[in-house]
Amino acid sequence: MNKTLLTIAVSGLLMLLTSAYYSTPADGRIGYKAPALVLDNNNGLSPLLQHRGENVLLTFWTSADAQSRLDNMRYDRLSRQDNSGYVHVSVNLDRSIGVFNSIVKLDDLNRSAQFGTSLDAQDAIIKSWRLNEGYHSFLIDGQGRIVAIDPDAKTLASIK
């Protein structure tokens, strides 16, 4: 009886360790599962979870970083094309929601794809998505894996 229990316990432990070893951890790098994206001012709903199973282009930007703002505008325009094989989700990391709202209007961005976030959520987003050295865009496949960072128009056009 003790030998049977020991065998079951060891087998269970080996299965647990093996599955943990082979599952891909979440990380903001190509080939990894995309980290969680929780926006505390979005009623607890993650825009990534809303588009589970779809290709998603996730863009992080701020009005203080001209390149990220221009990239967001470009990605917004590309995503409006009828043959776009992905959903664009844009996350603004400005400290002021008023600035964010003004720029969305000024840049004529698709409002339903734009999300602001609070200061409380920004530190966690910057850390988990590795944005310490600049803002980036991440192409995430239907299985939730990052397949490209800052993709060009040719890469985006190839998605179907």
Per-residue pLDDT, 24: 55
Q: Is the pLDDT of residue 46 over 80?
A: no
Confidence of residue 43 (pLDDT cuts 50, 70, 90): low
Mean of the per-residue pLDDT values of the chain: 83
Per-residue pLDDT, 51: 85
**What share of the chain in percent tops pLDDT 70?**
80
Per-residue pLDDT, 108: 95
Per-residue pLDDT, 25: 67
Strand, helix or coil for residue 63: coil
Select from 69, 144, 135, 143 the least CA-distant residue to 106: 69
Report how far apart, in Å, the C-alpha atoms of 1 and of each of 5, 7, 8, 9, 15 are. Answer: 6, 10, 11, 12, 21
Q: Is the pLDDT of residue 29 over 60?
A: yes
Residue-range domains of the chain with CATH: 25-157 (3.40.30.10)
Per-residue pLDDT, 47: 76
pLDDT tens figures, 116-125:
888 888 998 9
Average pLDDT over residues 12-27: 50
73 vs 90: CA distance, rounded Å: 10
β-strand 87-92 against 114-116: which pairing, if any?
parallel
What phi and psi, each to the nearest 5 degrees, are found at residue 17?
A: -65, -40
Per-residue pLDDT, 5: 55
pLDDT tens figures, 97-111:
899 999 999 999 999
Q: Is the pLDDT of residue 133 over 90?
A: no
Q: Is the pLDDT of residue 16 over 50?
A: no
DSSP 111: G
> Considering the entire predicted model, what is its pTM?
0.80
